[in-house]
Amino acid sequence: MGSTLPLVEIVVMRSCLVTWSTLTGTSPLRLDMKAASTITARMAITMPRQTCLPLPLFCLVRSAIRRTKLKYIGRVSSFLQPLPSGLPAKAANQMPPGLVSAQRHLQKSAFHLNPLIAYVYMGLAMRIGLRRAKEVTQAVYREVQRTRVLNMAAGLSYYFLLSLFPLLIVLATLLGYLPIPNLFNHSMDFAARFVPSEAMGLVRRILQSVLTPNRGGLLSIGLVGTLWAASGGFSAMIDALDIAYDARASRPMLKQRLVAVALTFMTGGLMAIAMLLTMVGDRAGHFLSNVLHLSYVFERSWPFLRWGIIGLCIVLSMEVLYFFGPNVKQRFKHTLPGALVGTVLWILISAAVNVYVSHFANYNKTYGTIGAVVALLFWLYVSSIAILIGAELNAELLKVEGERLQGQQRVAPGQLVEMPKAA
């Protein structure tokens, strides 16, 4: 009798899969009418019990149970997904009430019932998550082709090249007022981690020839013009983000330029914090540990915290760009996936370009005296590609969220996506 119990369980579980009474709570298979739900009872009877079986028979029974579990996953996946928001009230009322309650109960308390429910829910979540991730990836690839991201990145690299040196001049002028010796040189060393060496040599030479000890004239007379020129790259980036998000570029020119100036200061400030953390090194951990009377563990873990904060500053700068740049209403947290992907792509691409330019490519022999300019332009080009891919990812995720919250309706190109207000 004990050896046939698993086979009886398989037969019972198969009958439960096609019986509405089990879903609606009217099945006699419920173990406890007061404490256990329908899903709890249905899953509890399918749990394999400890039996003494011969090895070949045990292997056959275990394989049968495993196959039945997989079939059960396929059946349950139909009601694990959320109900369509546009479902008519009559059709929703005709659905068995146990189906809806089972769905909600399984989603809320799957990991508190028994290991089999957790296994089923995790398997379905992984399968649905991977399927959606594949669909989003394909949609991002199609949008990259439709919006011609490579062409937009080429235009952005040109505008950023024109605005790079005014931006560095403003940065060098402002950093000169901070009581930190050789701060700008350390900032250039930080930038050299990402920019190719030939391009960094050109940047250093131009800044040394432009910067003068008299800083007051720049800050009083030429500040407005320098900021206007420095924000040109961000103004072009706003136009590109509007295209990526399928939003109308409805901002007036002056308002868009003011937003570009604000983005220049916000992203520049976050990158300045990252540069300062790079320069202070491990000494800051020892200083903070002594001043704040922290433990020895903080001082030992400071190198990891420092690089974590640096990465956080870069991700936040991407999020600020994605949140304030496009003319689309969205929540700040919805910009995180694209910011993470864009940051990782930017770091990896910058490292690859740096290695390629330093060891393989020789732009000076190919392009002569403008080889450093070409290397810098190429780095700006690939950096723009990384930023725009992150924007396309956020745009697709925003459309998916709009489909879920606005009745499964696809957002048409050129339509502003208005997300619901947070509760």
End-to-end CA distance of the chain: 57
pLDDT of residue 118: 53
All residues at 6 or more sequence positions from 105 whose CB lies less than 8 Å from its CB, including other chains: 37, 38, 39
pLDDT of residue 311: 87
Q: Is residue 208 part of a domain?
A: yes
Q: Is residue 418 part of a domain?
A: no
CB contact at 8 A, 136 and 396 = yes
pLDDT digits (tens, 9 = 90+) for 219-228: 455 667 777 7
> Which of 256-270, 361-375, 381-395 has the lowest average pLDDT?
361-375
Where a domain ends, among 106, 139, 172?
A: 139
HEC string of 401-416 equals HHHHHCCCCCCCCCCC
297 and 192 in one domain?
A: yes
pLDDT of residue 107: 44
pLDDT of residue 77: 46
Q: What's the whole-model pTM score?
A: 0.61
In the chain, how many domains are there?
2
Query: By percentage, how much of the chain surpasses pLDDT 70?
Result: 52
pLDDT of residue 389: 93
pLDDT digits (tens, 9 = 90+) for 86-142: 444 444 444 444 444 444 444 444 444 445 555 555 555 555 566 777 888 888 899
184 and 65 in one domain?
A: no
Q: How many CB atoms within 10 Å of residue 340?
A: 16
168 and 112 in one domain?
A: no
192 and 100 in one domain?
A: no
282 and 207 in one domain?
A: yes
184 and 80 in one domain?
A: no
Q: Is residue 423 part of a domain?
A: no
List, as one string, the DSSP characters of 118-181.
Answer: HHHHHHHHHHHHHHHHHHHHHHHHHHHHHTTHHHHHHHHHHHHHHHHHHHHHHHHHHHTTSS-T
Residue 65: pLDDT band (50, 70, 90) is: low
pLDDT average, residue stretch 15-20: 42
How many whole angstroms separate alpha carbon 146 and alpha carbon 142?
Answer: 6
- Token pair for residue 351? 């490292």
Q: Is residue 104 part of a domain?
A: yes
Is residue 291 predicted with pLDDT exceeding 60?
A: yes
Where a domain ends, among 104, 139, 174?
A: 139
Q: Is residue 410 part of a domain?
A: no
pLDDT of residue 21: 39
Q: Is 262 exposed, middle or buried (0-12, 13-18, 19+ CB in 10 A)?
A: middle
258 and 240 in one domain?
A: yes
Where a domain ends, among 139, 164, 181?
A: 139
pLDDT average, residue stretch 48-57: 44
pLDDT of residue 222: 60
pLDDT average, residue stretch 225-242: 85
pLDDT digits (tens, 9 = 90+) for 326-343: 988 888 888 898 999 999
- Token pair for residue 326? 């496009």
How many whole angstroms separate alpha carbon 316 and alpha carbon 401?
Answer: 22
Q: Is residue 421 part of a domain?
A: no
Is residue 254 predicted with pLDDT exceeding 80?
A: yes
pLDDT average, residue stretch 49-56: 44
Q: Is residue 106 part of a domain?
A: yes
Q: Is residue 53 part of a domain?
A: yes
pLDDT average, residue stretch 335-355: 88
158 and 48 in one domain?
A: no
Backbone torsions φ then ψ of 418, nearest 5 degrees: -110, 110
130 and 161 in one domain?
A: no
Is residue 386 predicted with pLDDT exceeding 80?
A: yes
**Of 199, 323, 192, nearest in space to 267 by CA:** 323
273 and 236 in one domain?
A: yes
179 and 63 in one domain?
A: no
Measured torsion, CA atoms of residues 49, 53, 59, 61, in degrees rounded to the nearest 10? -50
pLDDT average, residue stretch 170-177: 68
Q: Domain range for residue 368? A: 149-405
pLDDT of residue 126: 59
How many whole angstroms separate alpha carbon 306 and alpha carbon 275?
Answer: 11
320 and 181 in one domain?
A: yes
Q: Which amino acid is at 157?
A: S
Mean pLDDT of the chain: 68
Is residue 242 predicted with pLDDT exceeding 70?
A: yes
